[in-house]
Amino acid sequence: MMYIKDQVKKLTPYKPGKTVDEVKKELGLSEIIKLASNENPFGCSEKVGQELTAHAMNYAIYPDGGGSVLRQALTEFYQLPGEQFILGNGSDEIIQIISRAMLDSSKNTVMAAPTFPQYKHNAVIEGAKVIEVPLIDGRHDLNKMASAVDQDTAVVWVCSPNNPTGVSISDQDLKHFIEQIPDHVVIVLDEAYFEYVTAADYYDALELIRKYPNLIVTRTFSKAYGLAGFRVGYGIAQPSLIQALEPVREPFNTNALAQLAAAAAIKDQSFIQHCREQNRNGIEKFERFCTEHNLGFFPTQGNFILVHFNKDANVMFEALMRKGIIARSGHALGYPESLRITIGTEEQVNKTLKAIEEII
Ligand code: PMP
């Protein structure tokens, strides 16, 4: 019998949801609005397509393993040296790299619950003990998280804005938290939705990176940049922390097209600004609707909103799907009476709210 690690045997593999085409066929619908994975409803910058068509690429050769063009674009954007970035096949891979480099069965790792599931998933694979600290009203209980840290803790995960609640962490709260964390612990600050944040009390991650050698911030091209299909994410930290992770990275982990696309995308900040504004308008519309209809929700800084329907999430999910809208049921997210709904275009938001109104 082949050997599989005990902890891996206990995990359930990622189960992809139905594709848009499958749902269309099943329900006989001609149009589906997919609001389940927090993708960008506006696609990506038109500069991406221009850049990809302008470059004749030799697909027979491996990509640049150092990602120099993308690294240079990040350097220009952040005004930080290239050695402060690690590139990943999505920020999912950065999470995996951190876990592989820093976690094993002698270590524990602290995270909120519910939060992005890949922190726990990877920690379990590495055999580390997972310490989960429940959210309070959708936000991290940072004091409890700090007191859960001990001499065996290797990594603490903080997700801001948090998936699935959308709640972000304030400057004051985050600084107070980091001050309490001992130097031997690496703090991962997952900012997959950073570009959508409009909160006035949000912190400056770059200032924190300058100050704390044990902090790594992860960001992605999958959300506001609209390049989820290309799979590009990155970590930003002081050079010593990046160097510690690099041996774990696969040599050609980001592909050639993805590197080029991401480098073009980050140069078009007016697209990002447009998406941020549209997203904020959509959130405000959702929040007004929820208040008017007595539906609970968490104040979100992401491109999604967790709405509490006070009835089984799967029932609500099915009812919305029959109207051509695919949201994410809160069952698997730790909120069995809520749906996580991506903020779509104005038209999509209007259709979604109309559909919800007809159901509730
Ligand atoms: N972190 C968070 C909080 C996320 O929501 C996601 C995507 N759903 C990721 C990381 C991973 O994104 P990607 O691998 O596409 O960069």
CA 97 to chain centre: 16
Average pLDDT over residues 8-37: 91
How much distance in Å is there from the Cα of 262 to the middle of ligand 1? 16
**pLDDT surpassing 90 at residue 89:** yes
183: confidence class by pLDDT, cuts 50, 70, 90: very high
Average pLDDT over residues 163-180: 98
Query: Phi, psi at residue 333, to the nearest 5°?
Result: -105, 0
Write out pLDDT tens, residues 27-58. Answer: 999 999 999 999 999 999 999 999 999 988 89
What pLDDT, on a 0 to 100 scale, did the predictor assign at position 240?
Answer: 98
**Cβ neighbour number for residue 60 with a 10 Å cutoff:** 5
Q: What pTM value is reported for the model?
A: 0.97
pLDDT above 70 as % of the chain: 100
How much distance in Å is there from the Cα of 221 to the middle of ligand 1? 9
Average predicted confidence (pLDDT) for the chain: 97
CA distance 129 to 126: 9
CA 222 to ligand 1: nearest atom: 15
**pLDDT surpassing 90 at residue 257:** yes
**pLDDT surpassing 90 at residue 117:** yes
Name every protein residue with a CB atom under 6 angstroms from any ligand 1 atom. Answer: 38, 90-92, 116, 159, 163, 190, 192, 220, 222, 228, 233
What pLDDT, on a 0 to 100 scale, did the predictor assign at position 56?
Answer: 86
CA 220 to ligand 1: nearest atom: 16
CA distance 54 to 46: 13
- 196: nearest Cα among 307, 274, 118: 274
Q: DSSP secondary-structure letter at 143?
A: H
Average pLDDT over residues 127-131: 98
How much distance in Å is there from the Cα of 197 to the middle of ligand 1? 15
How much distance in Å is there from the Cα of 358 to the middle of ligand 1? 32
What pLDDT, on a 0 to 100 scale, did the predictor assign at position 17?
Answer: 79
**pLDDT surpassing 90 at residue 207:** yes
Q: Whose CA is nearest to atom 7 of ligand 1?
A: 192
**pLDDT surpassing 90 at residue 68:** yes
